[in-house]
Amino acid sequence: MKIIIINGPNLNLLGKREPEVYGSTSFEDYFATLQSKFPQVELHYFQSNIEGELIGKLQDVGFEYDGIILNAAAYTHTSVGIGDAVKAIDTPVVEVHISNTHQREAYRHVSYISPGAKGVILGFGLQSYDLAIQSFLG
């Protein structure tokens, strides 16, 4: 099974960025943990701060991979383009957020990703990614 985690803007700063909200572990360290936890999964990772690069990656993998785990970060709440890309591709997308966005500012309660997503997992810290992988394994 081939799964990719796609992370959007500012998630390259995990571990340093607002640790009270997002924790103190870098995504690189957590990704290594995920790889050792799911050896049966061919797990890939892509991060970009640029909307068009995220859309390009969704198009590149979206007809080939078995699953996409997408944390579009701030673009979740603004990007019609990423939302459209999620709907355009064949590969199922699970939307993930580290924080419980519904407990935060009102502008974080809207998602342009959810209408095209297979499901949404949020609020479990980095473990949200773990749960998303498990959702693909059934």
Residue 22 is among the residues annotated as catalytic for this protein: yes
Give the span between the Cα atoms of 138 and 136, in whole angstroms.
5
Chain centroid, CA 20 distance in Å: 20
Min dist CB 8 to ligand DQA, Å, is 7
Tell which positions 4-43 bind ligand DQA, by CB under 6 A: 10
Whether the CB-CB separation of 5 and 58 falls below 8 Å is answered with no
Beta strands in 8-132 (DSSP E): 42-47, 67-71, 93-97, 119-122
Nearer Cβ to ligand DQA, position 2 or 19?
19
One-letter amino acid of 104 = R
Min dist CB 132 to ligand DQA, Å, is 12
Nearer Cβ to ligand DQA, position 58 or 73?
73
Site for ligand DQA contains 73 (CB under 6 A):
yes
Catalytic residue among 30, 65, 75, 97: 97
Residue 97 is among the residues annotated as catalytic for this protein: yes
Site for ligand DQA contains 71 (CB under 6 A):
yes
Give the span between the Cα atoms of 40 and 8, in whole angstroms.
26
Nearer Cβ to ligand DQA, position 91 or 101?
101
Non-local (6+) Cβ contacts of 113 within 8 A are 70, 72, 76, 82, 83, 86, 93, 95
Catalytic residue among 22, 30, 65, 75: 22
The catalytic residues are 22, 97
The site for ligand DQA (CB under 6 A) is made up of 10, 71, 73-74, 76, 97-99, 101, 108
